[in-house]
A and B are shown apart, each in its own frame.
Chain A
């Protein structure tokens, strides 16, 4: 057991799902040709003025409600001033003193124990552009040429800042998962780290147990998956432990994570950091968030993952584990509920989704929304198993066709002649043949080695091309062997 307590806080930037940018009418679509989704406003041209996207405000408030935030009655934008080539105005429009949301919380489950994590604030801000550097390192310092793509400039971001309430990298990982799940549930963001619609900076410091004040925090940047966050934090925990053990002092700094090396390296000390000279954005007016607005937005709030999870346990009798896996993603939970509306063998549906469907989707790199297996077909498969038309073993074969060819399982079974052999006489004949061909195994069984029956069952199933009903095979085989 370490003598140090780990203190972690996370800053998560999520791109809100709006069709247009935060302060202009340009498209937010990812992957367009460079600088095509731009206009005088997001290019920061002289004379252009920002106009706030109301949809983004609604999504910020919706997030606020889902994360149990206090929604500020008056929210204001501020300018964060700094020079960088990806920031065409020389300032970022963000929020400092009056964000839309303050004092939220999120419940996580760690080793079966529930824990509440405080969230300091959630504020709206505009994204910066993207720089591309040619030259040896790909960094701006030694670039031969640098190009700027301003398509991303002014795209709406919600920055969600947690309290320093997380006590381990594992908790941080859980927090991120729970947060992502909620954000996807309420549909405010795609939370796609690859496309940059979710980004995370982690702050971490260690202190001896019992010490009240925090030690200087280290901010880790450049982490682009939840696993990387966990890895980076684990590395930092070890590094800072070593520092403290050897009597060194840690100091406030920003460190970059390298996913390949699994290490962090110093980027800059806080002394060199900017004074952002925040002041209220004079080009925008104060936002008055009325109770009526909040009530309207509340109406669009869907059932959140934690609530849905317990409902899955109570209403469908699913194990906690299944309920957790299924409700982690709204799309999977919705898929399950469509199936559950068609067939009452909930556990069988859950098994098929969690086992076969999730596996196939992952291997194919597909999203549940593009699943070739539609809920109608999935429940048909459940019915084929339940009515003994096919065995669960055969079901695996059928599912493959259902996925690869978007096929109806009944058609697959018919076309391939996969109907289970449930006729006692027919099964008996196959067994007789197998027994005749394997006298040694039969002798072993008869000498008291019960276990070898499995071997015989396998041979019978193989002989029947998997179609024999496994229950029937077991029953008849035992009868014949005891004779």
Chain B
């Protein structure tokens, strides 16, 4: 039986009903990873032994009639390589952490383990989550399963490839400026960036602390809602997580959209900012939403044009500090035979970090430097407040904001790697949600002219992930997206 074409909740049901075992399912995905990963490079750390052990344990619990099992009990999952899981390598796809083994579990990993979900391994990413194509990985890029000459998006590209290509029914990613949504769009899967503070960041290797958020990748909305329910929640170990009850997201599914109000910000649809085939897919999607009873209106998010600049000041500033700990002293890569402390630190960092990471550390160091702080960092924080207010104002009248996820479908490997600005622009539509701290989801809404997935982004009110699921689920059912690569031999 081919499990890899089944959705996570179906697998969970079959496992719970003992029609198949968790071990069979897990072995099935492991087989597929063994076949496909050599080429796709989605996984950078395979943790099959642990996964099988967890699966066997699940089967034992089921055999003795275990109760109160999680809705995804026994269903395997993949992590991103920046999530700490005890006794395993957590490399962030960087040379500087190539042999780093975490002695502890991230809170999300604890939750995944508690839910009885075998962890297949860790997925490829741009080094320290800095990039939009996975090309900045020390392990080399992952390939887009729809077209192997194209990027899968990034930074959580390995996670999106794993789900899209049927290597794992579910995956976790992290999103600082679009790193879940943009690869989800590129690979034709569902990716959610929850509200800032909804999911604990404890054990997520930090890129930009005030923007980072962990979120689920899945084949469809229902699976996504089920996984969010498992990983969300207050964590006393993360002071920025919010003590707010986690709703039963499944209750937000299969609801009518009648009377729901969707805003379309004109700044996201300006002429020339969007590939024609993406715009076409978006327009058809709007028609579907309208048929479902949703109401549309054009709005303005006036500070949109400042998002990218604001983001690259705040994110790099925080990153420059967050990545200071990789100095070759306590753990990670150390340049051997250095003659002095300074030489050891500078050479370890010079050799341990890749170019994009170094570029951002330099940018961040610069904007925090004496004499520049007010003009850059402080100003950026003020603009960030204005961007947040743009959303507040829109949400007074609307349930969500609809935008494209990316300006165009997946680009070619190597196409933008030498042009950082072009690379940064692929996140132009996703960055605002991180700056505003609001939830946003990307789901497939069509195919481009060259038969690549196109993503649609819904941005919601803080902690209203449920409403995003309502909207996305209704659309998904009406549109009938078909993943054609997850069972491909």
Contact = CB atoms under 8 A, between A and B. Distances in A.
Interface in A22-80: 40, 43-52, 79
A45 B201 contact: no
A283 B368 contact: no
A88 interface: yes
A: contact size bracket: 20 to 34
B92 A46 contact: yes
Contact of B318 (A43, A85, A282): A282
B330 interface: yes
B321 A277 contact: yes
Contacts of A83: 324, 327, 345
B251 interface: no
A284 interface: yes
A395 to B, nearest CB: 59
Contacts of B237: 49, 51
Nearest to B235: A49
Interface in B169-222: 201-206, 208-210
B329 interface: yes
Contacts of A51: 236-239
A152 to B, nearest CB: 15
A83 B324 CA distance: 7
A226 interface: no
B272 interface: no
Contacts of A44: 325, 330
A285 interface: yes
B196 to A, nearest CB: 11
Contacts of B201: 49
A279 B317 contact: yes
B327 A90 contact: yes
B331 interface: yes
A252 interface: no
A188 B201 CA distance: 33
B86 to A, nearest CB: 10
Given A40-B104, A45-B103, A49-B237, A282 B324 contact: no
A52 B239 contact: yes
A285 B239 contact: yes
A260 interface: no
B90 interface: yes
A140 B368 contact: no
A361 B83 CA distance: 56
B104 A282 contact: no
A89 B104 CA distance: 17
B277 to A, nearest CB: 38
B55 to A, nearest CB: 26
B409 to A, nearest CB: 33
Given A277-B368, A283-B240, A285-B239, A49 B325 contact: no
Nearest to A140: B341
B102 A47 contact: yes
A81 interface: yes
Contacts of A271: none
Contact of B239 (A48, A50, A278): A50
20 contacts: A44-B330, A46-B92, A46-B97, A47-B204, A49-B201, A49-B237, A85-B341, A88-B330, A89-B324, A90-B324, A91-B324, A140-B341, A148-B330, A275-B370, A277-B369, A277-B370, A279-B317, A279-B321, A282-B208, A283-B206
Interface of B: 82-84, 90, 92, 97, 100, 102-104, 106, 201-206, 208-210, 236-240, 317-318, 320-321, 323-327, 329-331, 341, 345, 365, 368-370, 373, 377
Minimum-distance CB pairs A-B, first 6: A90-B324, A282-B209, A277-B368, A282-B210, A46-B205, A47-B203
